[in-house]
Every structure is written in C-alpha cells, then in structure tokens.
Amino acid sequence: MSFGSQSRKKAFNRKLYRYRMIDLFLLESTFNDEQDVSSAKLRISLLSELESVLWKLLTCGGRSEVRLWLSNTIASVTSISPQHQRDLFMTLLRRKPLKWAFASQLLQTLFEKRSREAGILIAKRSYIMEKFFEGNPRRISQWFSNFATNGASDHGKGAKALAQFAFVNRDICWEELEWKGKHGQSPAVVATKPHYFLDLDVHQTVKNFIQNVPEFWSSNEFAESLKDGEILFLDTKFFVKFFIDLMLKDDSKDVWEVINEFLMHESFSSLCQHLLVTLEDADFCNFLKVLCKLLRPRIETKDFGNSSFMFEVILAKYGDSESIDQILLLNAVINQGRQLLRLLRDEDGEEQLDEIKAIIHKISAISSNSHCLFPLLKECDGRKKTIEMIKWLGLQSWVLHYRTSEECQTPELWESLFVDNGIGFRKSNEYLLLDHSCSSEDDGCEPCNRARAKSKKRKKGEKGGKRRKRNFDSQESCDDELLDLDIRNDRMDLKLNTGSWFLSTDDYTVPWNAKDLPEHLSKYCMASWMKWLFAKRE
C-alpha cells in the first residue's frame, strides 16, 4: 500500500473516530449521579454562549430576513379554522391607528386574487370614476382608446362602454364626440362602420363627457365595463386609498363583507406570506398573541413528529411574550438550520463561525456516556422552566445539524452514525459521486457512472480532453474534481461519495440523501426530546 493511501486511510479513521462522538440522544435514560448533573449544567452554559453568538449573527444585517423565516414557518400552520383566520387578520385591520402598510398590502392582494369582487364594488359607485379620469390623459388613453379595427364586439372595455352609451343616448351626447377628421361622423355611418371610432379624439371626447354628460358616469354601460376589476390596475394606489376611505370613513357594509369573505377563503399560507412582512415588531407580537390563543387547544394531541404541530406548541409557549426575540431564535435553529449555516459561511459570518466552532467543540467534548441531555427535564413542572428547556433543546438540535453537516462526509460515516444511535437503515440505489462544491445531482454534478465515463474519456488523449472542456465548460470546476479522483483505487478517496438511505425514523418511507439528512435528523431528535419533555409534565 502506498504512503498516500495509508495517509488517506488514517485521515478517514480520524474522521470516523471524531464522528463516533456524535450522540443524537435518542435513548431516554435516567440520571442519578452528580457527574450527570454537572455535565448537563456545563452543556446548558455552553448552549447559552451559543445562543448569544447566534443572535449576534442573526441580527448583524438587521432582523428582516429572520422575520421572513418566521413568517414562512407560520404560513405552514394548517390547523387554524377559516373563521379564526378571518378574526386573526381582521383584528390587525381594525386596530387603531390604521396600519397603512398592512391595509394597503391586504387590498392589493384582494385586487390580485379577487379582482371581480372588488370590481363589482367599484361598478356600484361608477360615478366616482369621473374624478378618476378628470385631468388625467394617461388614464383616459389607457381605458377608452382601445377601439378595434374589425368590429364593435372587439372593442376594449372602456371603448365599448363609450361607444354603446353614445349610440343608445345619441340624442343627448353625440354632439360631444370629437373627431380627428375634417367633419364628424353620423350615428348611421358609424353603426355600419364601427372602425370609424378609430378616428375619435378620445381625450377631448372624455373631457366633454366629464363636463357635459354626467349621465355617462352612472350609466349601466360604463358600470358594466368596471365589473371584472381590470380598472384596478390602471392605478392601484388610487384604489387602495379609495377602498380604505370606504372602510374607515364610510364604514361601507358591502366592502367589509367582501374583505371578510376574502380573509375566510384565501389560504392561510398566502395571507401570511403577503401580509406579515408589513408588520412592525409590536404588531407582529400582537399577531402572535392572538394566534397562540387560537392554537392552544391542539397541544393535547402531542404529534411532535409533525413539524407544523411542533412549531404550534412552541408558539403557544412563546407567542404571548412581549418580545419576539426568543421565537425568532427558536424558529431559526429548529426550522432554518440550512439558512443559518449559509449565513455562517458568508463572509460577514466569519467571526461568528470561529466562535461557534469553538463552542461546539467544547459541547462535543462533554461526556455523554449516560445519553443524558438535561437533568432539569425531571423538574420542568413550571411553565417558565418548560420554556427554557425548549430553548436548550432547540439549540442542541442545531448543534447536531451543524456537526453532521461538517463531519459526516462519506457513506461510511453516515452509516456508522445510524448504527451507533440505533437507527435502522437500508441503502437505496440512488448513489451519486459528488464534488465538494455540489451537494446533490440537482446542483450540477453527475451520477457516478457518467463520471466514470468522463474519466475514461480523458485518458484517450489530449484531443478528447479539449473536446470535453469545450462541451462542458459550464461544469468545469465540478468535472475537474471528479476526473482527478483515482476511482480504481481506494473508495475511501471519495470524500463526498454519498448516497441515500431509507431510515427507521420515518418507517423507511422516504430516501434521505446527505444533503437533507442533517435537517431531518435534527428535527427528528427535537421531536423525540419534546415528547419526553411533555411526558414528564403529566
């Protein structure tokens, strides 16, 4: 065996040894001696340090991204009823002073999703459109200039309304039509040749209608042109203000009814994604307080394997606090593990990365022979202690996410982790050969058999190598790494030769690959720990 091969095997064994220190704490055990208590208290102290560093990382660029993570998690909640959903958002809308950004975003979403319902409300008040068009040539041109060349039936909505009203009421308004030609057109001629409307001076005609034909603005013809809501998108800001005035100044019953129906029947996910981003922290806290009261009755089911349910339990414990900091942190470590790693690996996170590495190294060095996390589990009868415990559990789950992401780089290491933690597994047939910069086939690298073919092709000569470079230039960095591997020798050379496994954690229902395993296992551990925690409260 060559010296290089021996070195590689030693490095592999060192990794394997380091991995064996990853305890997923899946054995619920007792703790009796002082060493267990001391180790657990040390762990809590280090997790507290980790909390401080992570919070510094999360807020160094502002809180907007972390707030967005939380909003997306809240959007995944599925248990809230349509009536509660309506009441939840209506509480924010009715709160004084008016949350202008929230109300504006709500109405814009209503316009996009239910434009016809909004258009009907405008059609019932079509007379106000006179002011909408007055002194605004752009709006006039956009709405009334769309006459067709091939017949009246193809006129646009505004043009059709103008033409129909002019014919039906020609005795009172035909003289108000302005024509671009040397002389006007008679109704009889235009009726047989509707394309003549293309010669209409639309801007001057509408100005004449504003001044001299008030009947047009409350006519059935004009109201009909507004009913599908297309008019809303000529100037959304105008109609947002118009609807807010109808809601607050006029307290229009029909407007509130449409909003109520929209808030009941639009998906909770869509409402959260569109609306929560507009709230200030104080209003966000109020939203969480109301939401956690609506979710509290479901806690008795204890379905912690459902990530949405686990979040609801956490929200019920933290949601009525005066600050959202704790729920932001918990959501980040439990539900956004990958995004946290991405932040750490960004240039701005280098300082925190070094600190976190040092803290996690100390946590990993704590003796775990008893498979015991926290001696306080048995003392978590009080609400405050339970909240604190959930925080430590969440931080510990992210420590596992971090360690498995960093340390499990080969199939052998993953399988050793499964064995050592009592996780049953079966290999799937989806093995890939990956470059260090690629984590799955979707990221741009190719399956193992294609990589082998590329390797053989390269050995045929320089000409083949040039052809490969020309055809696969976009994957150059990935392919070069693959081709430099001596596949025929030692498989341990393949640092990121990974694959996928069916696991007992979900009854072997889903193949998990190395890219997704850290997240899956950390959430699985968190769910297991939460079951123990709430079992001890009974």
Q: What's residue 347's pLDDT?
A: 65
Q: Where are the alpha helices (DSSP H) in 124-201?
A: 129-133, 137-144, 157-168, 170-173, 187-192
Rounded CA-CA distance 404/400 in Å is: 6
Give mean pLDDT, residues 105-125.
97
CA distance 291 to 279: 15
Give the CA angle between residues 513, 518, 521 to the nearest 5°: 100
Tokens of 177: 């039509």
pLDDT in tens, 283-300: 998 899 889 888 765 555
Mean pLDDT of the chain: 79
Residues in the chain: 538
pTM: 0.76
DSSP H stretches of helix in 213-280: 220-226, 236-248, 253-265, 268-275
Q: What's residue 72's pLDDT?
A: 92
* Residue 445: predicted pLDDT: 36
Report residue 487's pLDDT band, with 50, 70 and 90 as the boundaries: very low
* Residue 493 vs residue 256, higher pLDDT: 256
Which pLDDT belongs to residue 455?
A: 39
Domain ranges in the chain? 100-270
Average pLDDT over residues 457-464: 41
Residue 320 and residue 496: Cα distance in Å, rounded? 45
